[in-house]
Amino acid sequence: MGTTGTPTNITQGSRTRGGVGESTLRPDGILKVTGEFAYASDMWHEDMLWGQILRSTVAHAEIVSIDTSEALAQAGVYAVLTYDDLPTEVKHYGLEIQDTPVLAHGKVRHHGEPVAIVAADHPETARRAAAKIKVEYRELPVVTDESSATAPDAPLVHENRTDHYVGHVPHPNILHRQPIIRGDAEEAAKKADFIVRGEYTFGMQDQAFLGPESGLAVPAEDGGVDLYIATQWLHSDLRQIAPVLGLPEDKVRMTLSGVGGAFGGREDLSMQIHACLLALRTGKPVKMVYNRFESFFGHVHRHPAKLFYEHGATKDGKLTHLKARIVLDGGAYASASPAVVGNAASLGAGPYVVDDVGIEALALYTNNPPCGAMRGFGAVQACFAYEAQMDKLADKVGMDRVEFRRLNAMEQGSLMPTGQPVDSPAPVAELLRRVKAMPLPPERQWASSEGADVRQLPGGLSNTTHGEGVVRGVGYAVGIKNVGFSEGFDDYSTARVRMEVVGDEPVVTVHTAMAEVGQGGVTVHAQIARTELGVTQVTIQPADTQVGSAGSTSASRQTYVTGGAVKNACELVRERVLEIGRRKFGTYHPAWATAELLLEGGKVVTDGGEVLAGLTDVLEGECVEVEEEWRHRPTEPFDLRTGQGFGHVQYSFAAHRAVVEVDTELGLVKVIELACAQDVGKALNPLSVIGQIQGGTTQGLGVAVMEEILVDPKTAKVRNPSFTDYLIPTILDTPTIPVDVLELADHHAPYGLRGVGEAPTLSSTPAVLAAIRDATGLELNRTPVRPEHLTETETCWTSPRN
């Protein structure tokens, strides 16, 4: 890994091993690799029941009747609940807009919507009982895209909307609309020597986390409930669960269980309320686990999008203007759609300087599966479109595609289309230069004296080519992602840090509600505590709601915000420890009063390195504990008409170079290499940073060449809810991913760090598409690209013949 940039100032800078900047190993690493880690689906409780959801078999219908009598009569069944059994007046939930029924009421709006829940003493009994529930549907016409959703006679997905977006949308099937207007794009277009337009389509991607949704609800003697759950944000869940149960929040005690990946798909509730309802109804612990099939219906997906882009440039290659229209399909319920719209709009111009901009982004309500958060969150779809545009425009101007981007790249001090200045390093041109400068993988890697090595060729062991039809292509892309929650959201985290002496050794305990979903937050928290407090022994408490909110493990924010909260709490602990030291030993040596004091190696030392006291002596009979909320600098909402505003906390940038080989006759693709350069501000754990970048890159590759949930446009039903037909990359599909990490400190952020997790997911996809275009000469305006697009043999795959 190459690292460059200004050295980052670490306030306390303990030399304790395992601190910030080291690649300390994950505490859960060995358990996960050896298969011993307890995921949420491994939970067990004596005497527990199994919960099962009955989901709608149609996308849009009135529920004429539900008959649960046969299910209830089955031996081993303890409860069957429908909407009518909900205990309070609160019967809906949602991240921002409470439009999602806990159980369907009178109507279902998408395929797979929960209609009834069952608890039984065996999962198979529960499944059979659910199958015996008779639901009579009267099917309604579906709306599945912009034209059907906004047609004059379109059925309304939600009648009588009362949310705060309804006042400014042009149609009730449009959930939210955000324009970004800066300068005058119409007028500026007149200065353009070249104009390119494109219409782009982004398919519906699934998070495809490997650990399916799972939870265990245990009724408590005080009338409350303990819920063990795989989620991304315990306190957000809690706020939605408690009112439906009719319990105060302190009677719903939540503990994070082993999370097998999230990528945004666990921001919304899945079975949390259902498991609690069944547990409280039956008085028994209830476990619920989705299988893979159900998981495809049990969480939101990435918004599919249609994007219309127009860019202009002068003949010397400067961008003149941008007009864009981004239509996101939010599906049947709101989920995170409004925020995704804000991101797609505000980041829709990409990391480029363009003064005259007119962008409109909107999310539709349709009868398609609900869409919401997924890694990259609206910025992914936009990046696919603007990067395709950059290639087209560079070609028109007659410039090298990378040089064209570098010429127009934003830098520190540039203005976003929202008017917000980019006030920390924005090394866009440098990232592009770096990926381009990396050596290219050798040609014909697959050729050997013994013939072709098919594993290195498109098709792999399927043995489709021995080199015939294979053409190499190279493509570049760069993207911009915001870090943290935006648009005025009060995005804080809480950390509780305790220092005490245990067994003659100073020990630090860190307690937060941060959801460890695989990102490595637990590792980083321990590193921060070691650096700030100079001790080696750090215990990370399990995440639960017995401590304040840590916000969501989303938006590349956890190291920044909960990491910042841990750092802040550690600093307060350090102050208290030094106060105690001064109180106890201040008279022993004048340095207690005059020197800058640090905690190092379990001792209080001066900045000159002189030891003043051991922490065991300072803390004898004392325990220092601090719980504090910590906030990054505030943001503000975007103006509803112009989109102007200081909307984002921080920006992150990554660039990719993709090298692909395409079997141009069969339309099969082998990605040979996906090189990435990314600025991370400060790599708190360099190995984890590389892992995040490689993971994000691979997830971007997936939606470039294979990952797509197919929804029938006539019925709005999901056609491939399985890992047999929803394909994610295997190791044979995953290329070498060389990573060049820059560390240019953002002085607004703890340690100068920059959120890492999402940026590489943006530019990976357009880089792969650009490389495939380079190999084939095809225009390819949709992703994922399928073999029939590359061989131009597409027929109407959306209407299968039986």
Partner 1 sequence: MDFLRPASWEEALAAKAEHPTAVPIAGGTDVMVEINFDHRRPEYLLDLTRIGELGDWEVGEETVRLGASVPYTTIMERLRGELPGLALASHTVASPQIRNRGGVGGNLGTASPAGDAHPALLAAGAEVEAESVRGSRLIPIDEFYTGVKRNALAPDELIRAVHIKKADGPQQFSKVGTRNAMVIAVCAFGLALHPETRTVRTGIGSAAPTPVRAKDAEEFLNAALDEGGFWDSGKIITPSVARQFADLCSAACNPIDDVRGTAGYRRHAVGVMARRTLTWTWESYRATGRDAHEMGGAA
Could you list the residues that contact partner 1 (CB under 8 A)?
127, 291, 293, 458-466, 468-469, 665-668, 670, 705-706, 710, 719-720, 722, 724-725, 727, 729-733, 786-788, 791, 793-797, 799-801
Name residues whose C-beta falls within 8 Å of residue 435's C-beta, 6 or more positions apart in sequence: 476, 655, 656, 657, 675, 676, 677, 740
Tell the smallest beta-carbon distance from residue 796 to partner 1 (Å): 7
Compute the distance between CA of residue 552 and CA of residue 232 in angstroms, rounded to an integer: 6
Give the start-end residues of each E strand in 314-449. 319-329, 357-364, 371-372, 447-448
Q: Cβ closer to partner 1: 488 or 729?
A: 729
Nearer to partner 1, 720 or 781 (CB): 720
Nearer Cβ to partner 1, position 502 or 732? 732
Pick 293 or 585: Cβ nearer partner 1: 293
Cα separation, 426 vs 443, in Å, equals 33
CA distance 196 to 312: 6
How far is C-alpha 550 from the geometric centre of its chain's CA atoms? 16
Q: Kind of pairing, strands 668-679 and 100-101?
A: unpaired
Q: Which helix (H) or strand (E) holds 217?
A: strand 214-219
Closer to partner 1 at the Cβ: 33 or 732? 732
Instruction: Say how far apart CA 245 and CA 224 lie, in whole Å.
Output: 9
The least CB distance from residue 674 to partner 1, in Å, is 15
Q: For residue 187, what are the CA distances in angstroms to 144, 184, 348, 397? A: 35, 5, 20, 20
Q: At what angle do helices 428-437 and 401-408 cross, to 10 degrees?
A: 160
| β partners of residue 362 | 177, 327
Q: Give me the least distance between CB of 129 and partner 1, in Å please.
A: 14
Closest CB to partner 1 among 40 and 718? 718
Q: How far is the CB of 339 from partner 1 (least distance, A)?
A: 31
Q: Which is nearer to partner 1, 438 or 780 (CB)?
A: 780
Q: What is the nearest approach in angstroms of partner 1 to the Cβ of residue 725?
A: 5
Distance in Å, CB of 304 to partner 1, minimum: 16
342 closest CA partner among 111, 511, 176: 176
Residues in contact with 259: Cβ distance below 8 Å, sequence separation at least 6, in sequence order: 39, 40, 211, 230, 231, 232, 266, 515, 516, 517, 518
Nearer CB in complex with partner 1: 513/669: 669
Rounded distance between C-alpha atoms, residue 174 and residue 143, angstroms: 12
Identity of the residue, 136 or 794, whose beta carbon is nearer to partner 1 in the bound complex? 794
Query: Min. distance of Cβ 291 from partner 1 in angstroms?
Result: 7
Quick check: bond before 7 cis, omega within 30? Answer: no
Least Å from the CB of residue 461 to partner 1: 5
**Total H helices, total E strands in the chain:** 19, 33
Would you say 70 or 665 has its CB closer to partner 1? Answer: 665
Contact 273, 93 (CB under 8 A): yes
Please, what is the minimum distance in Å from the beta carbon of residue 771 to partner 1?
A: 16
* CB 801, min distance to partner 1, A: 5
Question: 379-397 and 401-408 are packed helices; what angle lies between their axes, rounded to 10 degrees?
Answer: 110
CB of 252 or CB of 703, closer to partner 1: 703
Structure tokens at 287: 């476990």
Closer to partner 1 by Cβ: residue 23 or 720: 720
Q: Which two tokens stand for residue 159?
A: 């009648």
Q: How far is the CB of 692 from partner 1 (least distance, A)?
A: 24
| Identity of the residue, 335 or 698, whose beta carbon is nearer to partner 1 in the bound complex | 698
Question: Minimum distance from CB of 463 to partner 1 (Å)?
Answer: 5
Q: How far apart are the first and last CA of the chain?
A: 53
Closest CB to partner 1 among 162 and 802?
A: 802
Strands of the 77-81 sheet, one edge to the other = 77-81, 114-120, 49-55, 286-289, 214-219, 225-229, 252-256
> CB 698 → partner 1: shortest distance, Å?
13
Write down the least CB distance from residue 460 to partner 1, Å: 3
Asked if residue 57 lies in contact with residue 293, where contact means CB atoms within 8 angstroms, the answer is no
Identify the bridge partners of residue 651 per DSSP, sorted by sequence position.
482
In the complex with partner 1, the residue whose CB is nearer, 466 or 584, is: 466
Write down the least CB distance from residue 88 to partner 1, Å.
34
Rounded least distance, CB 660 to partner 1, Å:
12
Contact 711, 369 (CB under 8 A): yes
Distance CA 102, CA 90 (A): 9
Q: Alpha-carbon distance 223 to 216, whole Å? A: 16
Report, in Å, the least distance between residue 307 CB and partner 1: 24
Comparing CB distances to partner 1, the nearer of 467 and 488 is 467
Angstrom distance (rounded) from CA 60 to CA 366: 10
Take residue 139 and report the two structure tokens written for it: 């099917």
Shortest distance, CB of residue 246 to partner 1, whole angstroms? 35
Residue pointed to by tokens 């020990």: 507
Nearer to partner 1, 112 or 681 (CB): 112
Read off the tokens for 770.
């650009």
d(CA 357, CA 348) in angstroms, rounded, equals 10
User: Among residues 3 and 722, whose Cβ is nearest to partner 1?
Assistant: 722
Q: Which residues touch 225 (CB under 8 Å, ≥6 apart)? A: 217, 218, 219, 245, 247, 251, 252, 253, 276, 279, 280
Classify residue 608 by burial, with Cβ atoms within 10 Å: 0-12, 13-18, 19+: exposed
| Kind of pairing between the strands at 470-483 and 650-663 | antiparallel
